[in-house]
Chains A and B, each alone.
Chain A
């Protein structure tokens, strides 16, 4: 048997920890050890974006990141985008309004990638939206409504005071 690892991380603002095998992906750790099944697994090799979570605020593929590599870091999953019972975040609201989801399989990843985009680029143009979401595959809705959702959310939140941090 391979090595076991104690993984301690902040998930959606809460300290969480668990013991896991070295080979366990962050996605499996979130789903199976922490019970956060909102993170979806599609391809499990980095191609579809369904498993996108935010690691220290930036979108990453949780299927090709080991849980042990996330030790000590801050993780945000779809469960942390809005409080249980609502209200939904402006991005989530906009996804509902523009019919930007159908089966919902890609939606967690799409929403998190959109949240990350708007946190650094409050007024994205279409090219910036496409670049930020281009690695996320949707098999049902069509990308037009998803892009529309980001536009709607951006228009609504643009007045918020946001601090843009760039290296």
Chain B
């Protein structure tokens, strides 16, 4: 239960970090909060020769409100984002999802960038980023590039990041007024990775849905966003019939895989239940926020 011996690098600036990744990226790994990587190292499932700990690069740990939304530095801890008023009021889906990640001590260390770069399809944040069309900013000594969420997650634990690239920040678009969000999941125990999770965000004007975003985790090897379901919801009042149809449509489209923890049928069934639950909560929150009684701000 001890990692293999490696060289640990602790750069203090972004440039130093990128130089180290250019040199060692192929047989090295970025170390962020370590809450996924260190268990893998302890089990020797990962055997990197170099670890580039970016925990001292202060510029990566900044969360800021911008004209177009909320920009979260890759090293912002899950616990800090959870307590951020900017996230609560401008990115309610992120705020709803964060408390579902693991347990408080893990969120005290785990980062947003780490969770996204890890690319676990059962995790909450990849679903949130996909639902919101977040933009990922990656840097290397070759330059910077922006990667849309729809192109970021490739397959189980594989993302669009190259070995010499560092995820530096994630841009979440701000929500319009009249927006509500919810995250619903089931797991064997609280804090475990969910068997299935559903991220839902709806924007409502005059009682009608003008924008709907839905993404499921745990049912495929990447977060899966059923666009046909989103289309079904637009223009409706998200009443019981519409929500039931949406849940049925999701059950028909997802193709989960069964394992030790739950059968494929169970996951498919529960995907519909969770979709309905998340949609209702998101819609109700949206209506309250449309009425000007915004209860989202913690």
Q: How far is the CB of B219 from chain A (nearest CB, A)?
A: 24
Contact A45 B51 (CB under 8 A): no
Contact A61 B8 (CB under 8 A): no
Contact B3 A131 (CB under 8 A): no
Q: Enumerate chain B residues within 8 angstroms of A142, measured Cβ to Cβ.
A: none
Q: Which of B42, B55, B84 contacts A45 (CB 8 A)?
A: B42
Q: Which of A5, A44, A64, A131 contacts B34 (CB 8 A)?
A: A64
Q: How far is the CB of B191 from chain A (nearest CB, A)?
A: 6
B38 within 8 A of A: yes
Q: Which of A11-19, A52-60, A96-104, A152-160 contacts B (4 or more CB under 8 A)?
A: A52-60
Q: A46-B39, A66-B38, A167-B83 known; A135 and B5 CB under 8 Å?
A: no
Contact B106 A135 (CB under 8 A): yes
Q: Which of B97-105, B151-159, B166-174, B221-229 contacts A (4 or more CB under 8 A)?
A: B97-105
Contact B106 A46 (CB under 8 A): yes
B80 within 8 A of A: yes
Q: How far is the CB of A62 from chain B (nearest CB, A)?
A: 10
Contact A22 B34 (CB under 8 A): no
Output the nearest chain A residue to B51 by Cβ-Cβ distance.
Answer: A22
Interface residues of B in 1-59 (CB under 8 A from A): 1-10, 31, 34-35, 38-39, 41-43, 51, 53, 55
B236 within 8 A of A: no
Q: Enumerate chain A residues within 8 angstroms of B42, measured Cβ to Cβ.
A: 44-45, 63-64
Contact B2 A23 (CB under 8 A): yes
B263 within 8 A of A: no
Q: Which of B31, B80, B104 contacts A59 (CB 8 A)?
A: B104
Q: Enumerate chain B residues within 8 angstroms of A25, measured Cβ to Cβ.
A: 38
Q: Which of B4, B39, B55 contacts A64 (CB 8 A)?
A: B39
Main secondary structure of the interface of A (DSSP, over half): mixed
Question: In which size bucket is the chain B interface?
Answer: 20 to 34
A52 to B55, CA, bound (A): 20
Contact A134 B8 (CB under 8 A): no
B64 within 8 A of A: no
Contact B109 A61 (CB under 8 A): yes
Q: Enumerate chain A residues within 8 angstroms of B83, measured Cβ to Cβ.
A: 166-167
Contact B106 A22 (CB under 8 A): no
Question: In which size bucket is the chain A interface?
Answer: 20 to 34
Bits for A124-167, please: 1 = Cβ < 8 Å to B, else 0.
00000011101100000000000000000000000000000011
Contact A49 B105 (CB under 8 A): yes
Q: How far is the CB of A163 from chain B (nearest CB, A)?
A: 17
Interface residues of A in 30-76 (CB under 8 A from B): 44-46, 49, 52, 55, 58-61, 63-66, 68-69
Contact B109 A65 (CB under 8 A): yes
Contact A66 B190 (CB under 8 A): no
B108 within 8 A of A: yes
Q: Enumerate chain B residues within 8 angstroms of A69, measured Cβ to Cβ.
A: 31, 34, 53, 55
A113 within 8 A of B: yes
Contact A45 B4 (CB under 8 A): no
Q: How far is the CB of A147 from chain B (nearest CB, A)?
A: 14
26 contacts between A and B (CB under 8 A): A2-B7, A22-B51, A23-B2, A23-B3, A23-B5, A44-B1, A45-B42, A46-B39, A46-B106, A59-B104, A60-B109, A61-B35, A64-B38, A65-B34, A65-B38, A65-B109, A66-B34, A113-B105, A130-B190, A131-B104, A132-B104, A134-B103, A135-B102, A135-B103, A135-B106, A167-B84
Interface residues of A (CB under 8 A from B): 1-3, 5, 21-23, 25, 28, 44-46, 49, 52, 55, 58-61, 63-66, 68-69, 113, 130-132, 134-135, 166-167
